[in-house]
Structure 1
Amino acid sequence: MTTPAFSVCVYCGSRPGNNPVFTEIAKAVGQWIGERDGQLVYGGGRSGLMGTVAEATRLAGGRVVGVIPQALVDKELANHACDELHIVANMHERKAMMAERSDTFVALPGGIGTFEELFEVWTWRQLGYHDKPIGLINVDGYYDHMLQFLQSCVGHGFMGEWQMGLIESSSDASALLQSLVQASGTRMETPSLRSVI
């Protein structure tokens, strides 16, 4: 088995959302990872944006590692096309394994599960449990209001600007992914095909 150049944990929705751009960006992220000899670590489902990013990674030549709790195997339609599919006992095991297997983390649009995973890994970083880069792909302004709310938290004294500095947000997925992978200290291959992002 060839060791991947880097490993990106992607948090995203198990639904596609109601804007086709969400599916397009998930596909582009998967292609970006695969074309650069990378590895995707994600929640192991084959529906919604989760399935899209996994399939795009696989088709572009990347490795796919899925981690899914037994209770969600049926609900999220586990993706048995993964190079590795780990079925774990609960969400705590899922998130711990995803974090362990990743060099960096990025969130695409999603619902409360995506938010919970993003906020937990962000909290872990502020507490010093890891120092892996974290990114937010803010496509079509999806996260605008959340980012405004977080700045409001800073303004009200419940957060510091240094905590906001622990995540990087951009609508430019290619530039953000490149920044995160470089910041993680892993090597990045030059793609044989030009990225579509």
Structure 2
Amino acid sequence: MIRRVAVYCGSAMGADPAFADMARDLAAEMVQRGLGLVYGGGRLGLMGIVADAVLAGGGEVHGVIPQALVDKEVAHTGCTTLHTVAGMHERKAKMTELCDGFVALPGGIGTLDELFEAWTWNALGYHAKPFCLLDVHGFWSGLSGFMDHVSASGFLSTGRRAQLLEATAPAEALDKLDEAARNATQGMVW
């Protein structure tokens, strides 16, 4: 079911070298499974690492980047396909169109924005594509705990909370995406 995975992650490296290691590990697992990468089209930080690793493994990389970032010369010019769009709204829409599921590696407010918009669009029925947090050394544990709090406070159903998949290894994340995508095509709520 999953042919292309949108990877949300930081345009910075982050403070822990394990973040970059996980980006490389995810890329290797994707290449091994024949999965294409959809990502934000940048050459910096974890974004650049995951793209470079997929390309080095012979995989396909579909970058989607706003013109303003192309103008700042942060675009990854080695992508299999680089889509230049007007702005961030178009970027997120194009990434959603191109992928079959989403993985979030460590990142900042841009990563959170992308993740929550994908989740919101799913909740509104714009797509049925699954998403998974790929945790590195507890990076996502605070967010996970907060979402439990949001659910316990009555602002997020337990079913909707369960949609935010969580994994600690690339193979686990991709397996969960695949299972959730299969369930979605069978009409099951995941």
Taking structure 2 as the reference length, what is the TM-score of the superposition?
0.91
| Residue aligning to 1:136 | 133
- 1:56 counterpart = 2:48: no
Number of residue pairs the alignment of both structures matches: 181
Instruction: Tell me if structure 2 keeps the 8 A contact 1:135–1:176.
Output: yes
Structure-2 separation of matches of 1:158 and 1:149: 12
Alignment match of 1:32 (pick from 29, 33, 53): 29
Quote the RMSD (CA, aligned, Å): 1.3
| Residue aligning to 2:20 | 23
- 1:172 counterpart = 2:169: yes
Deviations 1:57-110 (A, max 9, x none): 111121000000011124471000000001111111111110000011110000
Instruction: Tell me if structure 2 keeps the 8 A contact 1:125–1:166.
Output: no
Alignment match of 1:80 (pick from 63, 66, 77): 77
Runs of 4+ deviating beyond 2 Å: 181-185
Displacement of 1:126: 1.1
- The alignment partner of 2:114 has SS state of helix
Q: AA paired with 1:102?
A: C
Alignment match of 1:65 (pick from 46, 62, 67): 62
Which residues of 2 match residues 109-188 of structure 1 at below 5 A? 109-185=106-182
Q: AA paired with 1:93?
A: E
- The alignment partner of 2:127 has SS state of coil
Q: AA paired with 2:69?
A: L
Displacement of 1:55: 0.6
Q: Which structure features the higher share of helix residues?
A: 2
Deviates more, 1:90-99 or 1:69-78: 69-78
Which residues of 2 match residues 5-16 of structure 1 at below 5 A? 6-16=3-13
Q: AA paired with 1:18?
A: A
Percent identity, please.
48
Structure-1 separation of matches of 2:137 and 2:73: 25
Instruction: Tell me if structure 1 keeps the 8 A contact 2:64–2:82.
Output: yes
Structure-1 separation of matches of 2:8 and 2:86: 19
Give the unaligned 5+ runs of structure 2: 183-190
| Residue aligning to 2:105 | 108
Instruction: Tell me if structure 1 keeps the 8 A contact 2:11–2:47.
Output: yes
Structure-1 separation of matches of 2:132 and 2:148: 16
- The alignment partner of 2:82 has SS state of strand
- The alignment partner of 1:46 has SS state of coil
Structure-1 separation of matches of 2:125 and 2:18: 35
Structure-1 separation of matches of 2:73 and 2:13: 13
